[in-house]
């Protein structure tokens, strides 16, 4: 068997290196290698972009939203400290923080916009959002504390898109209008309060930069007349992929009427869409490799026709049908391996260039991100490489079987 394998490799490589009589076969072989290289390169770049988009989106979402959200059915959370102590006693929970969540209108001399207002406690862990000038959200919330003695209005942290729409900057006055009354009631007159823009944040996601604003929890409680209560509890966990299990454990610990949702449930449609797009793009671009594989089959079929006499002579010298099949499979796989290696190298280099320089910008009002993210995972490279080689192997089967089924007498008589 060992000698048989050495023989087939020797002949297969000899056929590959030999100068063929028909230049057309060489051209088809070159086109097959080029087609496979282009297909593999395109697959690597697109999959890297789709993976990077999913990873960057997940990173940004988890940098703004909580890992687990805990709330009460139809009511606010009144016993905040007790509830947080129960939640933080559960294994895997990193921290728990109360929040107030409501919709408001922001008005400046230059316009009016609607935003979601979130009240956070600066003494508790907050989302790792960095506002302009490198200041953290925690520091901005501490700086947003009002001081009636000197006439300092409470501070408001707004997104860059909101600030641009209202034409406001840090230190400018801004009015907040809330339609909700006590405990979320809409039966009384809207609440109007004057704030001062303490900081402006920019996450790179227009969905958040134009829709979210932050204030101190105590200021939100005063404005909405919700003393000592909160809309819910934000929970951050050690392992984000265990968030669902921890969310179920939290509800089991604190009991009804509390309910919880993890970050995967809150963004299920978005990440399902990204995974579906990634799969569809893989299938579409893999068709490029399939087309190139047809060129491999064409080149091998023509070589079988050209090497009919050689095949017949090999059979009369003792070569079996298995040996003949292996010879042509080896040649086809060498062509496929060459194209895959070239495409893999080009894809790796171009992905690195896209990741390093980020010269492709995305419109933030259309996409969630403003730059093209790239993330190349080793497993993606392995899957693409194996898929390409698998397609090339299938393309060699018909020519190889046709070559092995030749009758040596007819090959010698009619071969060239």
pLDDT tens digits, 240-270? 888 889 999 988 888 888 888 888 888 878 7
Q: In the structure, what pLDDT confidence band is assigned to residue 2 with cuts at 50, 70 and 90?
A: very low
> Distance of alpha carbon 235 from its chain centroid, rounded?
23
Percent of the chain whose predicted confidence (pLDDT) is above 90: 3
**End-to-end Cα separation, the chain, in angstroms:** 31
Q: At what angle are helices 308-316 and 321-357 packed, to 10 degrees?
A: 130
Phi, psi of 185 (to 5 degrees): -80, 145
Interval 291-305: pLDDT, tens? 888 888 887 787 777
Q: What is the CA radius of gyration of the chain?
A: 33
H-type alpha helices, 19-119: 23-64, 80-88
Confidence grade of residue 4 (pLDDT, cut at 50, 70, 90): very low
Looking from the CA of 358 toward its CB, the CA atoms found within 13 Å total 13
Return the DSSP state at 371. Answer: B
- Tally of CB atoms within 10 A around 153: 18
203 touches 209 (CB < 8 A): yes
CB 362 within 8 A of CB 52: no
Higher pLDDT, 278 or 348: 348
Q: What is the reported pTM? A: 0.72
3-state helix, strand, coil in the chain (%, to 5): 55, 20, 25
């Amino acid at each position: 068997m060992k000698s048989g394998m050495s023989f087939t490799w020797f002949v297969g490589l000899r056929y590959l290196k030999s100068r063929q009589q028909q230049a057309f076969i060489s051209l088809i072989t070159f086109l097959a290698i080029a087609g496979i290289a282009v297909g593999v390169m395109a697959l690597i770049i697109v999959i890297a972009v789709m993976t990077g988009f999913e990873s960057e989106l997940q990173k940004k979402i988890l940098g703004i939203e909580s890992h687990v959200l805990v709330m009460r059915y139809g009511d606010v959370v009144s016993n905040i400290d007790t509830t947080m102590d129960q939640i933080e006693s559960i294994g895997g929970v990193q921290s728990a923080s109360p929040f107030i969540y409501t919709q408001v209108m922001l008005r400046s001399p230059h316009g009016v916009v609607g935003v979601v207002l979130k009240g956070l406690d600066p003494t508790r862990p907050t989302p790792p959002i960095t506002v302009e000038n490198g200041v953290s959200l925690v520091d901005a919330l501490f700086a947003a504390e009002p001081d009636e003695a000197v006439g300092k209005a409470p501070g408001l942290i707004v997104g860059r898109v909101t600030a641009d729409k209202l034409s406001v900057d840090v230190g400018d006055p801004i009015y907040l209008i809330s339609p909700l009354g006590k405990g979320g009631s809409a039966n009384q007159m809207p609440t109007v309060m004057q704030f001062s823009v303490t900081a402006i944040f920019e996450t790179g996601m227009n969905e958040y930069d134009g829709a979210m604003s932050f204030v101190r929890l105590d200021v939100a409680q005063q404005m909405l007349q919700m003393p000592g209560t909160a809309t819910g509890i934000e929970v951050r966990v050690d392992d984000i992929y265990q968030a669902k299990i921890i969310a179920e454990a939290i509800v089991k610990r604190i009991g009804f009427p509390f309910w919880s949702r993890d970050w995967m449930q809150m963004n299920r449609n978005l990440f399902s869409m990204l995974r579906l797009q990634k799969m569809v793009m893989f299938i579409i671009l893999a068709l490029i490799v399939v087309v190139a594989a047809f060129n491999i089959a064409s080149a091998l079929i023509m070589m079988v026709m050209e090497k009919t006499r050689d095949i017949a002579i090999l059979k009369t010298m003792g070569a079996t049908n298995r040996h003949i099949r292996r010879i042509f499979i080896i040649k086809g796989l060498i062509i496929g391996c060459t194209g895959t290696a070239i495409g893999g190298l080009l894809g790796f280099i171009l992905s690195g260039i896209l990741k390093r320089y980020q010269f492709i910008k995305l419109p933030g009002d259309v996409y969630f991100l403003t730059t093209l993210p790239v993330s190349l995972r080793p497993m993606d490279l392995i899957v693409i490489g194996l898929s390409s080689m698998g397609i090339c192997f299938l393309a060699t089967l018909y020519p190889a079987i046709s070559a092995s089924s030749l009758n040596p007498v007819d090959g010698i008589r009619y071969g060239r």
